[in-house]
Protein backbone atom coordinates (compact mmCIF):
# COMPACT_ATOMS: atom_id res chain seq x y z
CA UNK A 1 0.00 0.00 0.00
CA UNK A 2 2.84 2.40 0.91
CA UNK A 3 4.66 1.58 -2.33
CA UNK A 4 1.49 2.15 -4.34
CA UNK A 5 0.88 5.52 -2.62
CA UNK A 6 4.48 6.58 -3.32
CA UNK A 7 4.12 5.51 -6.96
CA UNK A 8 0.89 7.50 -7.28
CA UNK A 9 2.53 10.61 -5.85
CA UNK A 10 5.53 10.29 -8.14
CA UNK A 11 3.32 9.86 -11.19
CA UNK A 12 1.17 12.92 -10.48
CA UNK A 13 1.38 15.38 -13.42
CA UNK A 14 2.66 18.20 -11.21
CA UNK A 15 5.38 15.96 -9.76
CA UNK A 16 6.41 14.77 -13.22
CA UNK A 17 6.50 18.38 -14.44
CA UNK A 18 8.62 19.48 -11.49
CA UNK A 19 11.09 16.62 -11.97
CA UNK A 20 11.42 17.38 -15.68
CA UNK A 21 12.37 21.06 -15.21
CA UNK A 22 15.90 22.40 -15.62
CA UNK A 23 16.70 23.05 -11.95
CA UNK A 24 19.99 24.81 -12.72
CA UNK A 25 18.28 27.41 -14.91
CA UNK A 26 15.39 27.79 -12.47
CA UNK A 27 17.72 28.24 -9.48
CA UNK A 28 19.74 30.81 -11.43
CA UNK A 29 16.60 32.78 -12.25
CA UNK A 30 15.50 32.84 -8.62
CA UNK A 31 18.96 34.05 -7.53
CA UNK A 32 18.98 36.80 -10.17
CA UNK A 33 15.47 37.95 -9.17
CA UNK A 34 16.43 38.14 -5.48
CA UNK A 35 19.63 40.03 -6.29
CA UNK A 36 17.54 42.37 -8.43
CA UNK A 37 15.18 43.23 -5.56
CA UNK A 38 18.08 43.89 -3.19
CA UNK A 39 19.92 46.09 -5.70
CA UNK A 40 16.73 47.92 -6.69
CA UNK A 41 16.15 48.92 -3.06
CA UNK A 42 19.29 51.03 -3.34
CA UNK A 43 19.31 51.95 -7.04
CA UNK A 44 15.85 53.55 -6.85
CA UNK A 45 16.82 55.85 -3.96
CA UNK A 46 17.75 58.61 -6.38
CA UNK A 47 14.56 58.45 -8.47
CA UNK A 48 12.03 58.02 -5.63
CA UNK A 49 12.35 61.57 -4.18
CA UNK A 50 11.96 63.10 -7.65
CA UNK A 51 8.62 61.33 -8.03
CA UNK A 52 7.54 62.02 -4.46
CA UNK A 53 7.35 58.33 -3.45
CA UNK A 54 8.99 56.30 -0.69
CA UNK A 55 12.38 54.67 -1.20
CA UNK A 56 10.75 51.20 -1.25
CA UNK A 57 8.12 52.14 -3.85
CA UNK A 58 9.93 50.56 -6.81
CA UNK A 59 10.92 47.45 -4.83
CA UNK A 60 7.31 46.80 -3.79
CA UNK A 61 6.05 47.26 -7.35
CA UNK A 62 8.79 45.01 -8.73
CA UNK A 63 7.92 42.33 -6.17
CA UNK A 64 4.27 42.60 -7.26
CA UNK A 65 5.34 42.22 -10.91
CA UNK A 66 7.08 38.97 -9.99
CA UNK A 67 3.83 37.37 -8.76
CA UNK A 68 2.10 37.23 -12.19
CA UNK A 69 5.55 36.78 -13.72
CA UNK A 70 6.14 33.55 -11.79
CA UNK A 71 2.65 32.35 -12.68
CA UNK A 72 3.31 32.97 -16.39
CA UNK A 73 6.71 31.29 -16.24
CA UNK A 74 5.36 28.15 -14.56
CA UNK A 75 2.25 28.14 -16.78
CA UNK A 76 4.32 28.17 -19.97
CA UNK A 77 6.82 25.65 -18.59
CA UNK A 78 4.01 23.24 -17.66
CA UNK A 79 2.33 23.11 -21.06
CA UNK A 80 3.33 20.67 -23.79
CA UNK A 81 5.66 22.18 -26.44
CA UNK A 82 3.03 21.74 -29.17
CA UNK A 83 0.78 24.25 -27.38
CA UNK A 84 3.46 26.95 -27.49
CA UNK A 85 2.63 27.71 -31.14
CA UNK A 86 -1.04 28.77 -30.66
CA UNK A 87 -0.08 30.64 -27.48
CA UNK A 88 2.67 32.48 -29.34
CA UNK A 89 0.30 33.38 -32.17
CA UNK A 90 -2.17 34.83 -29.64
CA UNK A 91 0.60 36.88 -27.99
CA UNK A 92 1.88 38.05 -31.38
CA UNK A 93 -1.56 39.30 -32.46
CA UNK A 94 -1.99 41.06 -29.10
CA UNK A 95 1.45 42.67 -29.49
CA UNK A 96 0.76 43.91 -33.04
CA UNK A 97 -2.63 45.33 -32.02
CA UNK A 98 -0.92 46.96 -29.04
CA UNK A 99 1.83 48.48 -31.21
CA UNK A 100 -0.77 49.90 -33.60
CA UNK A 101 -2.61 51.20 -30.53
CA UNK A 102 0.50 53.08 -29.36
CA UNK A 103 0.76 54.78 -32.76
CA UNK A 104 -2.88 55.94 -32.57
CA UNK A 105 -3.49 56.53 -28.86
CA UNK A 106 -0.15 57.11 -27.18
CA UNK A 107 1.63 60.41 -26.70
CA UNK A 108 5.37 60.89 -27.03
CA UNK A 109 7.56 59.74 -24.14
CA UNK A 110 11.21 60.73 -24.70
CA UNK A 111 10.49 61.16 -28.39
CA UNK A 112 8.82 57.76 -28.94
CA UNK A 113 5.35 56.21 -28.76
CA UNK A 114 5.98 52.82 -27.18
CA UNK A 115 3.59 52.76 -24.23
CA UNK A 116 -0.11 52.19 -23.74
CA UNK A 117 -1.47 53.83 -20.59
CA UNK A 118 -4.40 52.02 -18.98
CA UNK A 119 -5.34 53.73 -15.72
CA UNK A 120 -2.33 53.58 -13.39
CA UNK A 121 -0.63 50.93 -15.54
CA UNK A 122 1.65 51.37 -18.54
CA UNK A 123 2.27 48.56 -21.03
CA UNK A 124 4.98 48.24 -23.68
CA UNK A 125 3.39 45.90 -26.29
CA UNK A 126 6.64 45.35 -28.22
CA UNK A 127 7.99 43.32 -25.28
CA UNK A 128 5.57 40.52 -26.21
CA UNK A 129 7.16 40.29 -29.65
CA UNK A 130 10.34 38.78 -28.24
CA UNK A 131 8.98 35.44 -26.97
CA UNK A 132 6.15 35.15 -29.50
CA UNK A 133 8.23 35.79 -32.64
CA UNK A 134 10.92 33.29 -31.64
CA UNK A 135 8.30 30.53 -31.41
CA UNK A 136 6.40 31.60 -34.56
CA UNK A 137 9.60 31.74 -36.62
CA UNK A 138 10.60 28.30 -35.32
CA UNK A 139 7.25 26.91 -36.44
CA UNK A 140 7.80 28.37 -39.91
CA UNK A 141 11.43 27.19 -40.22
CA UNK A 142 11.32 23.77 -38.57
CA UNK A 143 10.15 21.76 -41.59
CA UNK A 144 12.78 19.22 -42.69
CA UNK A 145 11.73 19.47 -46.34
CA UNK A 146 13.69 22.32 -47.97
CA UNK A 147 10.89 23.68 -50.18
CA UNK A 148 8.45 24.09 -47.29
CA UNK A 149 11.24 25.42 -45.08
CA UNK A 150 11.98 28.14 -47.64
CA UNK A 151 8.27 28.97 -47.83
CA UNK A 152 8.37 29.48 -44.07
CA UNK A 153 11.46 31.64 -44.48
CA UNK A 154 9.70 33.90 -47.00
CA UNK A 155 6.71 34.26 -44.65
CA UNK A 156 9.04 35.14 -41.77
CA UNK A 157 10.73 37.73 -44.00
CA UNK A 158 7.34 39.29 -44.71
CA UNK A 159 6.54 39.42 -40.98
CA UNK A 160 9.87 41.12 -40.26
CA UNK A 161 9.19 43.71 -42.97
CA UNK A 162 5.77 44.55 -41.49
CA UNK A 163 7.18 44.72 -37.97
CA UNK A 164 10.10 46.81 -39.20
CA UNK A 165 7.64 49.40 -40.52
CA UNK A 166 5.63 49.46 -37.26
CA UNK A 167 8.76 49.73 -35.11
CA UNK A 168 10.11 52.50 -37.35
CA UNK A 169 6.89 54.44 -36.79
CA UNK A 170 7.18 54.26 -32.98
CA UNK A 171 10.28 54.43 -33.33
CA UNK A 172 11.98 51.53 -31.51
CA UNK A 173 15.12 50.76 -33.47
CA UNK A 174 16.72 48.80 -30.62
CA UNK A 175 13.83 46.33 -30.58
CA UNK A 176 14.01 45.95 -34.36
CA UNK A 177 17.73 45.16 -34.23
CA UNK A 178 17.44 42.56 -31.46
CA UNK A 179 14.53 40.83 -33.26
CA UNK A 180 16.48 40.90 -36.53
CA UNK A 181 19.55 39.34 -34.92
CA UNK A 182 17.37 36.68 -33.29
CA UNK A 183 15.79 35.92 -36.68
CA UNK A 184 19.22 35.68 -38.33
CA UNK A 185 20.38 33.20 -35.68
CA UNK A 186 17.22 31.13 -36.15
CA UNK A 187 17.45 30.94 -39.94
CA UNK A 188 21.11 29.91 -39.59
CA UNK A 189 20.07 27.20 -37.08
CA UNK A 190 17.34 26.06 -39.51
CA UNK A 191 19.92 25.55 -42.27
CA UNK A 192 18.84 28.32 -44.64
CA UNK A 193 21.49 29.07 -47.28
CA UNK A 194 24.35 31.36 -46.22
CA UNK A 195 23.72 33.60 -49.20
CA UNK A 196 20.43 34.63 -47.60
CA UNK A 197 22.11 35.22 -44.24
CA UNK A 198 24.85 37.37 -45.81
CA UNK A 199 22.24 39.25 -47.82
CA UNK A 200 20.23 39.95 -44.68
CA UNK A 201 23.39 41.05 -42.90
CA UNK A 202 24.10 43.66 -45.58
CA UNK A 203 20.44 44.70 -45.50
CA UNK A 204 20.67 45.30 -41.74
CA UNK A 205 23.75 47.46 -42.27
CA UNK A 206 21.71 49.45 -44.80
CA UNK A 207 18.85 49.74 -42.30
CA UNK A 208 21.32 51.00 -39.67
CA UNK A 209 22.56 53.73 -42.00
CA UNK A 210 18.98 54.62 -42.92
CA UNK A 211 18.01 54.86 -39.24
CA UNK A 212 21.02 57.06 -38.55
CA UNK A 213 19.97 59.59 -41.18
CA UNK A 214 16.20 59.51 -40.54
CA UNK A 215 15.78 58.91 -36.78
CA UNK A 216 17.19 61.70 -34.64
CA UNK A 217 17.40 59.63 -31.44
CA UNK A 218 19.42 56.94 -33.25
CA UNK A 219 21.86 59.46 -34.73
CA UNK A 220 22.25 61.27 -31.39
CA UNK A 221 23.00 58.02 -29.54
CA UNK A 222 25.56 56.91 -32.12
CA UNK A 223 27.15 60.39 -32.20
CA UNK A 224 27.29 60.37 -28.40
CA UNK A 225 28.93 56.94 -28.38
CA UNK A 226 31.51 57.91 -31.03
CA UNK A 227 32.10 61.36 -29.56
CA UNK A 228 31.09 63.17 -32.74
CA UNK A 229 29.99 66.79 -32.48
CA UNK A 230 30.92 69.54 -30.08
CA UNK A 231 27.72 69.65 -28.01
CA UNK A 232 27.08 65.93 -27.58
CA UNK A 233 25.56 65.10 -24.17
CA UNK A 234 27.42 62.14 -22.63
CA UNK A 235 26.16 62.79 -19.09
CA UNK A 236 24.65 59.38 -18.26
CA UNK A 237 27.46 57.37 -19.84
CA UNK A 238 30.11 59.48 -18.06
CA UNK A 239 28.33 59.05 -14.72
CA UNK A 240 28.13 55.28 -15.29
CA UNK A 241 31.88 55.10 -15.95
CA UNK A 242 32.56 57.13 -12.81
CA UNK A 243 30.36 54.74 -10.82
CA UNK A 244 32.36 51.70 -11.95
CA UNK A 245 35.66 53.45 -11.18
CA UNK A 246 34.44 54.51 -7.74
CA UNK A 247 33.30 50.98 -6.90
CA UNK A 248 36.50 49.20 -7.83
CA UNK A 249 36.71 45.48 -7.09
CA UNK A 250 34.77 45.28 -3.81
CA UNK A 251 32.43 48.28 -4.07
CA UNK A 252 31.52 51.04 -1.65
CA UNK A 253 28.84 48.96 0.08
CA UNK A 254 25.12 48.50 -0.60
CA UNK A 255 23.36 51.85 -0.26
CA UNK A 256 26.59 53.85 -0.03
CA UNK A 257 26.94 54.71 -3.72
CA UNK A 258 26.54 58.32 -4.80
CA UNK A 259 26.13 58.24 -8.58
CA UNK A 260 22.59 56.77 -8.44
CA UNK A 261 21.44 60.22 -7.29
CA UNK A 262 22.68 61.80 -10.53
CA UNK A 263 21.83 58.94 -12.93
CA UNK A 264 18.24 59.45 -14.22
CA UNK A 265 17.91 55.79 -15.27
CA UNK A 266 19.81 54.23 -12.35
CA UNK A 267 16.93 51.84 -11.58
CA UNK A 268 16.43 50.71 -15.19
CA UNK A 269 18.94 51.05 -18.05
CA UNK A 270 21.99 51.83 -15.88
CA UNK A 271 21.35 49.59 -12.86
CA UNK A 272 24.49 47.61 -13.71
CA UNK A 273 26.55 50.75 -13.02
CA UNK A 274 24.94 51.01 -9.56
CA UNK A 275 25.87 47.37 -8.91
CA UNK A 276 29.42 48.12 -10.02
CA UNK A 277 29.75 51.08 -7.66
CA UNK A 278 28.11 49.64 -4.55
CA UNK A 279 28.93 45.93 -4.81
CA UNK A 280 32.03 46.09 -6.97
CA UNK A 281 33.39 44.16 -9.92
CA UNK A 282 33.25 40.93 -7.91
CA UNK A 283 29.43 40.96 -7.73
CA UNK A 284 29.19 42.08 -11.38
CA UNK A 285 31.20 38.97 -12.29
CA UNK A 286 29.02 36.83 -10.00
CA UNK A 287 25.87 38.07 -11.76
CA UNK A 288 27.46 37.36 -15.14
CA UNK A 289 28.34 33.85 -13.92
CA UNK A 290 24.73 33.17 -12.84
CA UNK A 291 23.42 34.39 -16.19
CA UNK A 292 25.99 32.15 -17.90
CA UNK A 293 24.77 29.16 -15.86
CA UNK A 294 21.19 29.76 -17.04
CA UNK A 295 22.29 30.09 -20.68
CA UNK A 296 24.69 27.13 -20.63
CA UNK A 297 22.27 24.80 -18.86
CA UNK A 298 19.45 25.72 -21.26
CA UNK A 299 21.59 25.17 -24.36
CA UNK A 300 23.02 21.90 -22.99
CA UNK A 301 19.56 20.42 -22.47
CA UNK A 302 18.28 21.81 -25.76
CA UNK A 303 21.00 20.26 -27.92
CA UNK A 304 20.36 16.70 -26.71
CA UNK A 305 16.79 16.83 -28.03
CA UNK A 306 16.04 15.42 -31.47
CA UNK A 307 13.41 18.05 -32.22
CA UNK A 308 13.97 20.73 -34.86
CA UNK A 309 11.20 22.97 -33.57
CA UNK A 310 12.53 22.87 -29.99
CA UNK A 311 16.08 23.55 -31.21
CA UNK A 312 15.15 26.53 -33.42
CA UNK A 313 12.67 28.03 -30.96
CA UNK A 314 14.96 27.51 -27.97
CA UNK A 315 17.95 28.98 -29.80
CA UNK A 316 15.92 32.08 -30.64
CA UNK A 317 14.61 32.50 -27.10
CA UNK A 318 18.01 31.98 -25.47
CA UNK A 319 19.68 34.32 -27.98
CA UNK A 320 17.24 37.12 -27.05
CA UNK A 321 17.93 36.57 -23.34
CA UNK A 322 21.69 36.56 -23.97
CA UNK A 323 21.66 39.63 -26.22
CA UNK A 324 19.60 41.61 -23.73
CA UNK A 325 22.13 40.87 -20.97
CA UNK A 326 25.16 41.72 -23.11
CA UNK A 327 23.62 44.87 -24.58
CA UNK A 328 22.60 46.29 -21.20
CA UNK A 329 26.01 45.58 -19.66
CA UNK A 330 27.85 46.90 -22.72
CA UNK A 331 25.89 50.16 -22.66
CA UNK A 332 26.73 50.68 -18.98
CA UNK A 333 30.41 50.02 -19.78
CA UNK A 334 30.28 52.38 -22.79
CA UNK A 335 30.96 49.55 -25.25
CA UNK A 336 27.71 50.19 -27.16
CA UNK A 337 25.44 53.21 -27.73
CA UNK A 338 22.49 53.54 -25.33
CA UNK A 339 19.52 51.40 -26.38
CA UNK A 340 17.00 51.40 -23.52
CA UNK A 341 17.48 47.64 -23.02
CA UNK A 342 16.81 46.38 -19.47
CA UNK A 343 18.96 43.92 -17.51
CA UNK A 344 16.78 40.76 -17.24
CA UNK A 345 15.01 40.36 -13.87
CA UNK A 346 17.18 43.06 -12.27
CA UNK A 347 16.13 46.34 -13.94
CA UNK A 348 12.79 47.78 -12.88
CA UNK A 349 9.91 47.29 -15.31
CA UNK A 350 6.63 45.38 -15.38
CA UNK A 351 6.40 44.82 -19.15
CA UNK A 352 9.96 43.50 -19.20
CA UNK A 353 9.27 41.11 -16.29
CA UNK A 354 6.13 39.73 -17.98
CA UNK A 355 7.88 39.28 -21.33
CA UNK A 356 10.97 37.64 -19.83
CA UNK A 357 8.82 35.36 -17.65
CA UNK A 358 7.01 34.08 -20.75
CA UNK A 359 10.34 33.76 -22.55
CA UNK A 360 12.02 31.79 -19.73
CA UNK A 361 8.89 29.71 -19.18
CA UNK A 362 8.99 28.75 -22.86
CA UNK A 363 12.68 27.82 -22.57
CA UNK A 364 11.90 25.63 -19.54
CA UNK A 365 9.08 24.04 -21.54
CA UNK A 366 11.37 23.22 -24.47
CA UNK A 367 14.23 21.92 -22.30
CA UNK A 368 12.12 19.62 -20.10
CA UNK A 369 13.14 16.00 -19.83
CA UNK A 370 11.01 13.89 -22.14
CA UNK A 371 8.29 12.76 -19.78
CA UNK A 372 4.61 12.56 -20.48
CA UNK A 373 2.75 14.97 -18.24
Task: For residue 317, name the pLDDT band (cuts at 50, 70, 90).
Answer: very high
Q: What is the pLDDT of residue 68?
A: 93
In the chain, what are the domain boundaries? Answer: 26-35+57-366
Q: What is the pLDDT of residue 109?
A: 65
Task: For residue 311, name the pLDDT band (cuts at 50, 70, 90).
Answer: very high
| Three state DSSP letters for 146-198 | HHHHHHHHHHHHHHHHHHHHHHHHCCCHHHHHHHHHHHHHHHHHHCCCHHHHH
Tell me the DSSP string of 211-271: HHHH-HHHHHHHHHHHT-SSS---HHHHHHHHHHHHHTTT-S-TT--SGGGT-TTTTTTTH
Q: Is the pLDDT of residue 153 over 50?
A: yes
CB 346 within 8 A of CB 271: yes
Task: For residue 113, name the pLDDT band (cuts at 50, 70, 90).
Answer: confident
∠166-342-30 over CA atoms, to 5°?
125
Q: What is the pLDDT of residue 62?
A: 92
Report the alpha-carbon distance of residue 65 to residue 297 in Å, rounded.
26
Q: What is the pLDDT of residue 187?
A: 92
Considering only CA atoms, which of 182, 136, 126, 131 is closest in space to residue 156? 136
Give the percent of the chain with pLDDT over 90.
47
Q: Is the pLDDT of residue 8 over 80?
A: no
Q: What is the mean pLDDT of the chain?
A: 86
Q: What is the pLDDT of residue 20?
A: 86
Q: What is the pLDDT of residue 229?
A: 62
CB 141 within 8 A of CB 153: yes
**Stretch among 25-39, 82-96, 100-114 having the lowest mean pLDDT:** 100-114
Peptide bond into 176 cis (omega under 30): no
Task: For residue 373, name the pLDDT band (cuts at 50, 70, 90).
Answer: very low
What is the mean predicted confidence (pLDDT) over 121-143? 91
pTM score of the predicted model? 0.90
Pairing of strands 116-118, 121-123: antiparallel
Q: Is the pLDDT of residue 267 over 90?
A: no
CB 231 within 8 A of CB 303: no
Task: For residue 74, name the pLDDT band (cuts at 50, 70, 90).
Answer: very high
* 143/362: higher pLDDT: 362
Neighbours of 216 (CB within 10 A): 11
What is the mean predicted confidence (pLDDT) over 158-169? 90
Q: Is the pLDDT of residue 254 over 80?
A: yes
- The H or E element containing residue 112 is none
Q: What is the pLDDT of residue 24?
A: 94
pLDDT tens for residues 41-55?
Answer: 998 888 888 877 887
Task: For residue 114, name the pLDDT band (cuts at 50, 70, 90).
Answer: confident
pLDDT tens for residues 328-363?
Answer: 999 999 888 888 789 999 999 888 999 999 999 999
pLDDT tens for residues 188-212?
Answer: 998 888 888 888 888 888 877 777 7
Q: Is the pLDDT of residue 233 over 70?
A: no
Amino acid sequence: MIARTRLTKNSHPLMLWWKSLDKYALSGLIMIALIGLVVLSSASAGMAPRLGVTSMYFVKKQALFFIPGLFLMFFFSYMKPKYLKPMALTLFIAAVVGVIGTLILSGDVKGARRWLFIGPFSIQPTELLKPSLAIIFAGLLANKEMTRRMQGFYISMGLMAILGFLLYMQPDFGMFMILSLMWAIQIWTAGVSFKWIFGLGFSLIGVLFGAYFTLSHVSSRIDRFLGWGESIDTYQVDKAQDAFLNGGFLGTGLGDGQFKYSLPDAHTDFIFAVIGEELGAIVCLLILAIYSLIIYSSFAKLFVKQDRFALIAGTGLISIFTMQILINMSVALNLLPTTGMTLPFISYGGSSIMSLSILLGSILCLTKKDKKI
